[in-house]
């Protein structure tokens, strides 16, 4: 299974493509789309859309995994994040891909084993699980890889459960 994980953000939108079968995981590409706060919001959203659409075309993921909506104290930040998240979902939908969302606690639990893990712990475990020589940078890229890993593990578990219930 090939998964594109996306960590939506207002300044950086992380991405990571991971191949995996539930046992072995391979990082295909990771990085982040840097968005300048000096650029108009609609231009930043277009940058995210264009970059994610190009990644989908080049790496042909089977599914896109993103972080679920969470509650924020700052309504303005939450709204901007929602815009980026909507654009990420639209870029997947335009290519006919399903989008699955995972709660932050579920992602951290799947990767670190603890739902309240720190960003640095996520980076270390992602690097370990994917056998990377260096920690994924920026942290948003590591988070995107963690989201993809979470989906691969979840899908593998669901397949095993379906096989045993037959």
Assess whether 7 carries a catalytic annotation. Answer: yes
3-class secondary-structure state, position 13: strand
Structural tokens at position 116: 């309240």
Assess whether 140 carries a catalytic annotation. Answer: yes
The strand pair at 25-34 and 63-67 is best described as unpaired
Which parts of the chain fold into alpha helices (H)? 41-59, 75-94, 104-111, 119-129, 139-164
CA 31 – CA 158 distance, rounded (Å): 29
Q: Which of 62, 67, 118, 134 is catalytic?
A: 67
Angle at 132 between CA 141 and CA 68, to 5 degrees: 30
Assess whether 58 carries a catalytic annotation. Answer: no
CA 148 – CA 21 distance, rounded (Å): 12
User: For residue 16, which phi and psi values (nearest 5 degrees)?
Assistant: -160, 130
- Residues with catalytic roles: 7, 67, 140
């Amino acid at each position: 299974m090939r998964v594109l994980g996306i960590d939506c953000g207002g300044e950086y939108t992380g991405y990571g493509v991971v191949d995996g079968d539930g046992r072995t995981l391979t990082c295909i590409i990771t990085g982040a789309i840097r968005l300048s706060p000096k650029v108009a919001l609609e231009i930043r959203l277009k940058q995210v859309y264009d970059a994610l659409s190009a990644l989908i075309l080049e790496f042909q993921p089977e599914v896109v995994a993103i972080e679920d909506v969470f509650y924020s104290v700052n309504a303005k930040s939450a709204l901007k994040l929602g815009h980026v998240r909507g654009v990420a979902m639209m870029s997947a939908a335009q290519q006919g891909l399903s989008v699955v969302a995972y709660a932050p606690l579920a992602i951290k639990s799947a990767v670190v084993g603890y739902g309240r893990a720190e960003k640095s712990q996520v980076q270390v475990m992602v690097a370990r699980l994917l056998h990377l020589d260096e920690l994924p940078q920026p942290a948003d890229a590591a988070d995107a890889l963690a989201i993809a890993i979470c989906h691969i593990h979840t899908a593998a578990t669901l397949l095993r459960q379906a096989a045993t219930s037959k």
